[in-house]
């Protein structure tokens, strides 16, 4: 159970890329935090991010509108009762498919999913900040070592925790917190 939770929760404290070049450039830490508290905080904050209220976001509104348009289009156009004996696609079906593709394209799904991820990530970051964590920059050597450790391994978690709980690392490698808008 603990291993499965860590696999799901790891993004709360650090990204998990596959090569040294893709190793996370930053992480979150809290001087002196115990390993168990580190994991517990990750679990709580990841859960808050996963369960963030996205209902009133522009992304959800756009997806909902697109879905309603597609459902309306499908509901008002009946499929032919007898397939075309020539085996050629029905032009009406092709037309509906083209309309649906335009509706989907118009929602800009990649952008909308990025907006939702932004809400979730912001929720995780606020949670970590509330718990006293600060963001810190990983050095090239730290990224290289991290990338060499197997994903989900105890060694990788222990290494991240060693960095994240070290007051010297946090003091030497801080990432400034952006000023909040007034």
* Enclosing H/E stretch for 27: strand 26-29
The confidence band for 83, taking pLDDT boundaries of 50, 70 and 90, is low
Q: What is the C-alpha to C-alpha distance for residues 10 and 14, in angstroms, rounded to an integer?
A: 6
Count of residues for the chain? 182
Of 76 and 143, more confident: 143
Query: Over 80: is that where the pLDDT of 182 sits?
Result: no
* Stretch among 5-9, 94-98, 161-165 having the lowest mean pLDDT: 5-9
Instruction: Give the dihedral of Cα atoms 139, 180, 10, 30; nearest 10 deg.
Output: 70
CA-to-CA distance for 32 and 38, rounded, in angstroms? 10
CA diameter of the chain: 76
Higher pLDDT, 7 or 149: 149
pTM greater than the 0.75 cutoff: no
pLDDT at 172 over 90: yes
């Amino acid at each position: 159970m603990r291993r499965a939770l860590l696999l799901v929760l790891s993004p709360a404290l650090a990204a998990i890329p596959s090569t040294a070049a893709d190793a996370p450039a930053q992480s979150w830490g809290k001087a002196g935090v115990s390993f168990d508290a580190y994991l517990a905080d990750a679990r709580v904050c990841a859960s808050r991010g996963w369960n963030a209220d996205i209902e009133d976001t522009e992304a959800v509104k756009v997806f909902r509108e697109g879905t309603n348009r597609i459902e309306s289009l499908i509901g008002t156009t009946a499929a032919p009762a007898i397939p075309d004996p020539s085996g050629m696609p029905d032009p009406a079906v092709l037309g509906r498919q083209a309309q649906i593709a335009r509706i989907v394209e118009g929602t800009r799904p990649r952008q909308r999913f990025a907006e939702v991820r932004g809400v979730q990530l912001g929720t995780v970051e606020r949670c970590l900040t509330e718990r006293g964590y600060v963001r810190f920059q990983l050095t090239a050597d730290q990224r290289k070592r991290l990338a060499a450790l197997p994903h989900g391994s105890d060694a990788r978690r222990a290494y991240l925790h060693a960095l994240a709980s070290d007051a010297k690392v946090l003091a030497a490698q801080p990432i400034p917190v952006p000023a909040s808008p007034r």
